[in-house]
Amino acid sequence: MHEVIDNIHKAADTLRREAPESDRRGRLTDLTAQTLRESGIVRMLQPKEYGGHEAHPAEFLEAAMETAIAAPSAGWVGGVVGVHPWEIAMMDPKLQEEIWGQDPDTWAASPYAPIGRAVPVDGGFLFTGQWPYSSGTDHCRWVILGGIVDHGPDAKPGPPDIRHFVIPRSDYEIVADSWNVMGLLGTGSKDVRMTDVFIPDYRVVDGTAMNAGAYEHRQEGKALYRLKFPLMFSAAIGAATQGIAQGALAAFKDYLGGRVSADGNIAKQDPIQLFSYAEAAAEIAASRSHLLTSTSELYDFVAKGGEVSRRQRLTFRRDQARATRRAVDAVDSLFKTAAGGSGIHTSFPLERYWRDLQVAQVHICNIQHNIYTAWASDDLTGESNPALFV
């Protein structure tokens, strides 16, 4: 077991106790954020030269799952914020030093949706936009944002010039009352915005090139950094979602242990309840194994010198999305058919896990339809939509 996973197990009671307060505040409590920092989860994919672990990616996914079992929003932030050091490791060394040189526990938020508009100027860009869904942003000192470069009348025909822009906290605003949702309240996934902020060239990378692995040379010889950004990011989202499902199953188990109906029916002796519990447990275990095994197989492949193909990328994303769907469906079944009327009470933990799962499953990385269609098209004809996040 990786030391970070052990740290999370030891901190589980603290994470669990703080989870309701994180939801009430609409962001992780300071104690929760401190506990995550001390666990080391956000440094698992960080380079060793900056205090990171360079851990096996499956270990990182397990750490996100274990965190989400205890506290869904904390697991989500641990997964999302924890994958950013993987990308930063392949950015300009000057930027890495700015972010981690004084404090290796410095966090960066996102999102990557290319909402911003960047105007080229001498030495960099002027960047403007407002982005939703910046998970954990209150506890981050940097943000990575997606944007499109406006080349004006000199623009050449072709796909948009998408870049990732890295900005320090002093240069952007967090929009305070912008995270009003039904679940994952504690992630504090608020909007961030800025107008005409100067971003120097060394804090910018080509998004398409990053997705393709064009910056891997900055971590030469390390298999971890050859796994492609879309796969790492979607795996982190999938892992947090898996952990929430596992936490829901644990909550239902506790519920079964003490439930007695008005007519004296003991839940843990009821064949229907037992069947529902066992079926959900099997589905959630299978989905967990599916994601971890897919990740380990891909890591072993690149560690032996392999180059990840488009087919492998599509297959990984297909399996990751399917694993999420299987876990969510299992919890839906428990909540809607086995929990009974008690399940709707906010005092019952399953209700919160269920709401958090509904929000988690609509993240673009967990949506099945596009990736299923792309995989099937590629498998049958060798063609698929090149714009997909793979």
Query: pTM for this structure?
Result: 0.95
Which CATH superfamily does the domain covering 227-381 fall into? Answer: Butyryl-CoA Dehydrogenase, subunit A, domain 3 (1.20.140.10)
89 vs 230, 282, 340, CA distance in Å?
15, 37, 48
The residue among 113, 10, 27, 128 whose CA lies nearest residue 67 is: 10
Class of domain 108-208: mainly beta
Domain segments of the chain: what residues?
Answer: 3-106, 108-208, 227-381
- The angle that helices 72-88 and 349-360 make with each other, rounded to 10 degrees, is 30
Written as tens digits, the pLDDT of the chain (390 aa) is 899 999 999 999 999 999 999 999 999 999 999 999 999 999 999 999 999 999 999 999 999 999 999 999 999 999 999 999 999 999 999 999 999 999 999 999 999 999 999 999 999 999 999 999 999 999 999 999 999 999 988 778 888 999 999 999 999 999 999 999 999 999 999 999 999 999 999 999 999 999 999 999 999 999 999 999 999 999 999 999 999 999 999 998 988 876 656 556 666 777 888 888 999 999 999 999 999 999 999 999 999 999 999 999 999 999 999 999 999 999 999 887 765 666 676 777 788 999 999 999 999 999 999 999 999 999 999 887 765 778
Distance CA 38, CA 284 (A): 29
Distance CA 59, CA 292 (A): 9
User: 3-state SS of the chain: helix, strand, coil percent to 5?
Assistant: 60, 15, 25
What's the fold here for domain 3-106?
A: Butyryl-Coa Dehydrogenase, subunit A; domain 1 (1.10.540)
Q: What residues are paired with 200 via a beta bridge? A: 124
pLDDT at residue number 271: 83
Six token digits for residue 49? 């030269």
Q: Please name the residues in contact with 192: beta carbons below 8 A apart, sequence gap of 6 or more.
A: 109, 130, 131, 134, 137, 143, 145, 172, 173, 174, 175
Burial class (CB in 10 A: 0-12, 13-18, 19+), 371: buried
